[in-house]
Chains A and B, each alone.
Chain A
């Protein structure tokens, strides 16, 4: 119940196309869903995040779509650029009586945008 399943494992998109990465979870108590972006040789960094009371959140070319009933959420990258080539992780924050940010991460998606 603490897992987050992410797909696809890798993705190749043409420049200007739409990149879509999907995640699914079982634990309905998760209450925060961030996406992290990681460039080769670097640590991940927070990209965008959403709470389950919101169905969509957009920041520039990045959009999270959230389907609470299906227990799924996805990242859409519009007008994908070569500079977006990176590994993307979805994550979920479990509820906890103790303060903390112990995220549960998906397996990651390696995105390559071809120019």
Chain B
């Protein structure tokens, strides 16, 4: 089955530690995205990548970093510089070259900072 796999599903982190969330897709999509979901705030774009080795900041990129070394993978690192990292993180992908408005989401990773 084609889809997006995010891991881990749940993650606990101590303050001051960096943590990396994994996102892998086998949909052969060029474009990938990271969103953060907080109650009452909808989905806010952290980073996105239209093609391998290229990515751009979204609306709330501060305290986060990404890499896109392979088409299938788009890991997100939540650094110690992120002031309020506890949230639900969603990875998505879409067909590149067409503006369809359709994103395919993974099941998310819930990060809790202790």
Note whether A and B form a binding pair. Answer: yes
- Listed in ascending order, the chain A residues whose CB lies under 8 Å from chain B are 6, 9, 31-34, 36, 41-46, 49, 89, 91, 93, 96, 98-103, 105-108
Q: Give every chain B residue within 8 A of A44 (Cβ-Cβ).
A: 43, 90, 103, 105
Answer whether A108 and B40 are a contact pair too, CB < 8 Å, given A99-B50, A101-B103, A102-B48.
yes
Assess the B50–A98 pair: CB atoms within 8 A: yes
Assess the B33–A105 pair: CB atoms within 8 A: no
Nearest chain A residue, comparing its CB with the CB of B45:
A102
Assess the A100–B31 pair: CB atoms within 8 A: yes
A37 to chain B, nearest CB (A): 11
Assess the A99–B97 pair: CB atoms within 8 A: yes
Q: Give every chain A residue within 8 A of B101 (Cβ-Cβ).
A: 32-34, 46, 49, 91, 93, 101, 103
Assess the B103–A99 pair: CB atoms within 8 A: no
Nearest chain A residue, comparing its CB with the CB of B6:
A43
Assess the A105–B43 pair: CB atoms within 8 A: yes
Complex Cα gap A65–B20 (Å): 41
Q: List 25 A-B contacts (CB under 8 A).
A: A6-B42, A9-B40, A31-B99, A36-B103, A42-B108, A43-B4, A43-B92, A43-B107, A44-B103, A45-B105, A46-B103, A91-B101, A93-B99, A93-B101, A99-B31, A99-B50, A99-B97, A100-B96, A101-B95, A103-B101, A103-B103, A105-B42, A107-B40, A108-B42, A108-B43
Complex Cα gap A91–B70 (Å): 29
Q: Give every chain B residue within 8 A of A43 (Cβ-Cβ).
A: 4, 90, 92, 105-108
B53 at interface by CB-CB < 8 Å: no
Assess the A89–B99 pair: CB atoms within 8 A: no
B94 at interface by CB-CB < 8 Å: yes
Assess the A101–B43 pair: CB atoms within 8 A: no
Nearest chain B residue, comparing its CB with the CB of A49:
B101
Nearest chain B residue, comparing its CB with the CB of A106:
B42
B1 at interface by CB-CB < 8 Å: no
A94 to chain B, nearest CB (A): 10
Answer whether A46 and B102 are a contact pair too, CB < 8 Å, given A100-B50, A101-B94.
yes
B92 to chain A, nearest CB (A): 7
